[in-house]
A and B are shown apart, each in its own frame.
Chain A
Amino acid sequence: MTDNILEMRHITKTFPGVRALNDVNFAVRRGEIHCLVGENGAGKSTLMKVLSGVYPHSDFEGEIILNGQKKEFTGIHDSEEAGIGIIYQELALVPEMTVYENIMLGHEIRRGMTIDVQEMIHRAEELLKRVRLSVNSSAKVKDLGIGKQQLVEIAKALSRNVKLLILDEPTSALNEDDCDNLLGILRILKTQGVTSIMISHKLKEVLSIAETVTVLRDGQTICTLDRQKDAVTEQILIKHMVGRSIENIYPPRTSRPGEEVVLEVKNWSAYDAKLGRKVLNNVNFRVRGGEVVGLSGLVGSGRTELARSLFGNPDGYIVSGELVFKGRKQRFSHPRGAIRAGLAYATEDRKRNGLVLIKSIQENISLANLQGVSKNGVINEELDKQTALNFVDSLSIKTPGINQLVMNLSGGNQQKVSVAKWLFVGPDLLIFDEPTRGIDVGAKYEIYTIINDLVAKGMSILMISSELPEILGMSDRIYVVANGTITGELDAQTATQEAVMRLATQY
C-alpha cells in the first residue's frame, strides 16, 4: 500500500461547449516530485485549478482525497488551509510592491492595529533562504529578473506552510540557468518534506526531475509512469501525449534562403530615457528573403528591445542608426507604419500585449489587418468570420467556436491565435518572439511546419528564442545577443550549444 498524499478520483469538469476533464484519476505519493504533461488544452491547468479550489466543489464532479480525507474546497482559502500551494501559469506578483510585501501578501503580520514590518521582513527572509534567493527583501519585485520573480512566487507559496506545492509551467519563461536553479530548489524542498506537482512542456526537464509522470490527453488520464519501474524517454512521453510518434522534432526544410537582403540594420542603438541607460548598442545584422534567422541570448540581453525598437518603437527609445527594409531606408514611428510596410512582430508575452483576452478569437485574428476584411472602413462580418474559421481550421486551434473569448483558451491555443493574427497580415518579415513558449510538442511541430511553409513562400523570419535546441534546429543563421549588442554570428549547420552560450555570456 503506497502512501498517497493526494488522490483525485473521477474528476469531470465542463465549460460551456468544452469537456475539459473527463473522468480523470490522479494520484500523488507523499514526498515525490510528480510531473504532469500533455498537449495544450489537455486539461492540466484545469485539473490543478480543481485541486486548489479555484473551481469550487460544486463546479465539478468527482472527489479529492487529501491525506486520506475527503475534501470539499469552496475556494482557494480552503485549499491553502489544507496545505496546498499553487503557482499559476502566469506570475501573480504585484510588481510595484517589495519582495517581502509580496511574499506576505494576504498573510500580513499584525501588531495591534498596525503591520509589524520587522517581523514580516524577518519571516520573508527566512523563506527566501529556503529557496536560496539572495535579494534585498525590500527591493521592488519589478526590478528583479523573471527567474528571481519565480523564486519569490515559490517563497510566497511556502509562507503558508505548504505540504503540496503545485507549479504550472514554472520554467516556460526562464533561461536554462534559472531552470536548473529552480529544479534544484524543488529537490531541496523535497528533502524538507514538500511534495511537488509540476506541469511542463519541456520534456528534458521533466525527465531530469520527475519520479512519476502522468500524461493527460483530451481531458483524460492516458497513463501514469513510475520512473523506477517503467522505461520513460522523450519519445515515449510524446507518443502518449499526442497519440502518435513524432520522429523529428524539427521538420526538415526543403527551401533555401534567397539572395536579396530584406532587412539590414546598421549601427543601431537605442537609449531608454526612462531607465536612463542604453538598451541597444551598435547592432548590425541582416535577414535575407526566405531565411530563418535565429536571435539567441539570455533573458534580458536586449533581443526583445531590439525587435520593438525596429517595429515602430512603441517604448519611445531614442534610436540612432540605419534600418533598410526591402531596399528602402526606413524609420517607423509607430507599429502601424511597420505593419503597412510589411514588418510584423509577434510578441513574447501574448497575454500582456499580444492578444485582447476579453475579445473573441474572430476579433483577435483580424485585429492587425482590418483592412483585409473591410471596405471603406465598414467591416464585412461574413468575411471576417470566414477568415477566422479558416485559420482555426488550418492551425487546428482547439475551440468550440470562433466566438469563444481568447481568455478561455488554453495557453498553447492562445499562441496559435496570435500566430493566426500575424499570418493574416501577410508580412514580408515576421519577428517571432519566443514562438513556442508554453506550447506542447505536437503544436511546436505544427508551428515549425508553418515557419517552413512561410519561408518556402519567400517570407523571412527573425526568430527570438531562449531555447537553444530550437534556435539550432530551426535557423539558417544565428546571431547571438549579449548586453544590448551582437556578439557573434554563427552558421546553424556548424553551430553548437556551447558556441552559442559562449557568445551569449561574453561581455
Chain B
Amino acid sequence: MNELMTVLKKNVREYGMFIALAVIIGVFTILSHGVFISSRNIANLLNQTGYIAVLAVGMTLVIIIRHIDLSVGFLSGFLGAIAAISLTQWNWPVWLSILFVLGLGVCAGLLTALPVAGLGIPAFVASLAGWLIYRGALMLVTAATGTIIIPNESFNALGNGYIPDLFASQSFLPGIHKTTLVLGLIAAVIFIFGQIADRRRKLQYKFEVPSTGLFVAKLIFMSVILGFISWILAGYNGMSWTVVVMLAVVLIYDFITRRTVIGRHIYAVGGNPEAAELSGISVRNITYAVFGSMGFLAALSGILFAARLKSATPQAGTLFEMDAIAAAYIGGVSAAGGVGSISGSLIGALVYMSLMNGMNLLGTDISLQYVIRGLVLLVAVIFDVMTRKRKS
C-alpha cells in the first residue's frame, strides 16, 4: 500500500489525467442517467475523438520542438474537400485519393516548415499564413458546388463503418460483436506478455522494478480496463474503423517518441536546440520531419472528418487546430519545449471530447459549453504547472 502511494505520488501528473477522465465520465453518466456510458454513446464519442486525437498527436510533437501549427484545421478541411473532389469529380479509386491526399498533407507540412526551418520565421506567423491560405483554398474548391456529397460507401466507412464480425453468431452472445471482444483479449494478452518481458529484462540488468504484488495489480487493472472498453464497444457495432486508425496512429507515435532515436532527437531539439545541434542532431531536419508528420496527420484528420460527414463542407476544419492545441495542453505538453507525451495527448483529447459530448447530451447551452471548455483547459494547465513545480 505504501509503495502504491509513493508510485502514485511520483506520477501524480500522469495518473491525475486518468482520474480527471474517470471523474468526467462518472459525472456525465450520473447526470445523463447512464446514457453517457451506453455502448452507443461511447462508440459515438470515440468516433468524434478520432479526428481531433490524430491532430493532437501531431501537434504534441510540434509543441515539443517549441513551435505551433495553426494551419492544420483548415488544411484538414481543405484536404478533405480534395478527397471528396477526387472521388466524385475525377472518379479516382478510394485508395488512390487517400494516398494522394496524405501525400499532399506531407507536402503542406513541409511547406509550412520551409520558412520556419530555413529562415527562422516564427511558426506562429508562418502557420497563420497557412491558416488564411487553406481557408481561402477550401472556400475556393467548394465555391462552385457548395457542400460536396460523397457517395462512396467504402470511403465513408472510415468515419462511420465498423470492423466486420468474423465470429458472428446468433446463438452465442447475440447482439455482441465477438471480433471486438477477441481483439480486446488479444490486446490484453500482448500487453501482459510485453510487460512481463520488459520486467524480466530489467531484472536481468538488475534495475529497480516495482514489487511483484504491485506489478500483478497493475496487469490486472489494465486488463480489466481493456476488457471493459471492448465489452462496451462490442455491445453496439463493435470497433469502428476510426478507432482502428486512431489507435494505430497513437501506438506508432508513442513508440516513435519513446523508443526510437528520432524520438530522442525530437525531445532534445525541444529541450535545448543549441545543445542538440552540437550533439550532431540536425535541428532543421527534425523541424521538417515534425511538420511533415503534422501535415500527414492533418490530411488523415480531414479524411476521417469528411468520411464521418459523408461530405466535404466549406466550414470543415474550423477551429480544429484550437481543439488539437487544447487537447495537447490538457495532456501535459509544455510550451517551453521538450516535455509532453503521445499517451498524454490522447487522454487530453478524450477529456476534451468527453466534455463536449457530455454537455451535448445534457443539452447544455453552446455558449456555456465554450466557457466550461475554457475553464477545464485552464485548470488542467494550472494543475500541470503545480505538479511540475513540486517535482523539481
How many of chain A's residues have a CB under 8 angstroms from any CB in B? 37
| B262-296 residues at the A interface, CB under 8 angstroms | 262-265, 267-268, 271-272, 274-282
Q: A314 — nearest CB in chain B belongs to which residue? A: B277
The number of residue pairs between A and B whose CB atoms lie closer than 8 Å in the complex comes to 91
Kindly list chain A residues whose C-beta atoms are within 8 Å of the C-beta of B264.
Answer: 363, 366-367, 370, 379
User: In the docked arrangement, what's the CA distance between A347 and B380, Å?
Assistant: 38
The range of chain B's interface size is: 20 to 34
When chains A and B are docked, how far (Å) is the Cα of A449 from the Cα of B315? Answer: 68
B260 at the A interface (CB under 8 A): yes
Judge if A35 is at the interface, Cβ distance under 8 Å: no
- In chain B, positions 151-201 with a C-beta closer than 8 Å to chain A are 201
Q: Using A382-B201, A382-B207 as known contacts, say yes or no to A358 and B338 having CB atoms under 8 A apart.
A: yes
The one of A334, A353, A377 in contact with B282, judged by C-beta atoms closer than 8 angstroms, is: A334
Interface class of chain B by DSSP: helix
Given A354-B275, A355-B275, A377-B261, are A335 and B267 neighbors across the interface (CB < 8 Å)?
no
Distance A345 CA – B274 CA, assembled complex (angstroms): 13
- Which residues of A in the span 365-392 have a Cβ within 8 Å of any Cβ on B? 366-368, 370-371, 374, 377-379, 381-382, 385-386
In angstroms, Cα B204 to Cα A336, docked, is 34
B218 located at the interface, meaning its Cβ lies under 8 Å from any Cβ of chain A in the complex: no
Contact B392 A405 (CB under 8 A): yes
Asked if A356 meets B282 with Cβ closer than 8 Å, knowing A367-B264, A378-B259, A379-B259, the reply is no
- Would you call A359 an interface residue if the criterion is a C-beta within 8 Å of the partner chain's C-beta atoms? yes
The contact of B278 among A314, A370, A374, A381, by CB within 8 Å, is A314
Main secondary structure of the interface of A (DSSP, over half): helix
Docked-complex contact B261 and A379, CB < 8 angstroms: yes
Complex contact B272–A386 (CB within 8 A): no
Does A339 sit within 8 A of B, measured CB to CB? yes
- Complex interface: chain A residues within 8 A of B201 (CB): 382
The answer to whether A382 touches B202 (Cβ under 8 A) is yes
Q: In the complex the two chains form, is B280's CB within 8 Å of A368's CB?
A: yes
Q: Report if B219 contacts A (CB, 8 A).
A: no
Q: Report Cα–Cα, A70/B336, bound state, in Å.
A: 39
If the complex has contacts A354-B275, A356-B338, A381-B259, are A336 and B280 also in contact, measured as CB distance less than 8 A?
A: yes
Given A386-B205, A408-B392, A371 contacting B275 (CB threshold 8 A): no
A424 to B338, CA, bound (A): 23
Contact A379 B272 (CB under 8 A): no
- Contact call A367/B205, Cβ cutoff below 8 A: no
* Distance between B46 CB and nearest chain A CB, rounded to angstroms: 29
- Whether, in the assembled complex, A352 has its beta carbon less than 8 Å from a beta carbon of chain B, the answer is yes
Q: How far is the CB of A66 from chain B (nearest CB, A)?
A: 27
Residues in B with CB closer than 8 Å to A357 are 271-272
Residue of B with least CB distance to A334: B282
CA A382 – CA B275 in complex, angstroms? 24
Residue of A nearest to B281 (CB): A336
- Scoring A339, A367, A379, A407 by chain B CB atoms within 10 A of each residue's CB, the highest score goes to A367
* Complexed CA–CA distance, A431 and B3 (Å): 46
- Determine if A421 is an interface residue (Cβ-Cβ < 8 Å): yes
Residue of chain A at shortest CB distance from B390: A16
Contact code string A299-336 (vs B, CB < 8 Å = 1, else 0): 00000000000011010000000000000000000111
On whether the beta carbons of B268 and A335 are closer than 8 Å, the reply is no
Residues 340-366 (chain A) with a chain B CB within 8 angstroms: 340, 345, 347, 352-359, 363, 366
- Is B35's CB within 8 Å of the partner chain A? no
Q: Among the interface residues A339, A381, A385, which one has the most CB atoms of the partner chain B within 10 A?
A: A381
Report if B114 contacts A (CB, 8 A): no
Q: Which of B262, B265, B268, B276 has the most CB of A within 10 A?
A: B268
A to B CB contacts below 8 Å, 14 in the list: A334-B280, A335-B277, A352-B275, A353-B275, A353-B278, A356-B267, A357-B271, A357-B272, A359-B268, A367-B279, A379-B263, A381-B259, A385-B207, A386-B205
Query: Top 6 nearest A-B pairs by Cβ distance?
Result: A353-B274, A356-B271, A336-B280, A368-B279, A339-B280, A370-B261
Task: Add 16 more A-B contacts to A335-B279, A354-B275, A356-B276 (CB < 8 A).
Answer: A311-B278, A334-B280, A339-B280, A345-B278, A353-B278, A356-B338, A358-B271, A358-B272, A358-B339, A359-B338, A366-B264, A367-B279, A370-B264, A374-B261, A379-B264, A407-B392
